[in-house]
């Protein structure tokens, strides 16, 4: 089994690379990163995460990092479906950099259309 601890760093690198090139499509970015990482086959389906990580680092180039990428979280607020027909279809509401801010926003919704109990928070 592959180490799940590799996921946050890889996702953070992908996010930084995408923010550097916001006009790129996700698949374009992943394909480019694989090739920058040394992957030489046309099909990237079997590309190893190490190659992708190396490629993203090569694309980003050297840059000062003041905080570890894997310790930065985003708190995403989602809305539960209100009817049985929509069961399993959650709606994205918004995202905050702190859990406290996300919780405060939910509490402000008590007089709005949805009950605060209809919301839940996912840490990204």
The full set of domain ranges for the chain reads 6-66, 73-123
Sequence-separated (6 or more) residues with CB below 8 Å from residue 7? none
Mean pLDDT check: name the lowest of 5-14, 23-32, 41-50, 60-69. Answer: 60-69
CA-based torsion, 32, 18, 14, 122: positive or negative: negative
DSSP code per residue over 86-98 = GTT--EEEEEESS
Q: What is the mean pLDDT of residues 64-80?
A: 62
Q: Would you give the DSSP letter of residue 105? A: H
Query: pTM for the full model?
Result: 0.51
- Express each pLDDT in 8-22 by its tens digit: 888 888 888 888 888
Task: Give residue 70's pLDDT.
Answer: 44
- By percentage, how much of the chain surpasses pLDDT 70? 77
pLDDT at 111 exceeding the cut of 70: no
Neighbours of 34 (CB within 10 A): 21
């Amino acid at each position: 089994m592959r180490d799940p601890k590799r996921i946050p760093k890889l996702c953070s690198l992908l996010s930084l690379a995408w923010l550097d090139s916001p006009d790129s499509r996700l698949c374009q970015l992943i394909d480019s990163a694989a090739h920058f990482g040394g992957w030489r086959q046309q099909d990237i389906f079997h590309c190893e995460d190490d190659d992708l990580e190396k490629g993203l680092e090569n694309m980003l180039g050297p840059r000062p990092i003041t905080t570890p990428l894997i310790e930065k979280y985003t708190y995403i607020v989602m809305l539960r479906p209100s009817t049985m027909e929509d069961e399993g279809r959650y709606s994205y509401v918004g995202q905050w950099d702190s859990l406290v801010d996300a919780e405060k926003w939910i509490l402000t919704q008590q007089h709005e259309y949805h009950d605060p109990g209809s919301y839940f928070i996912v840490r990204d």
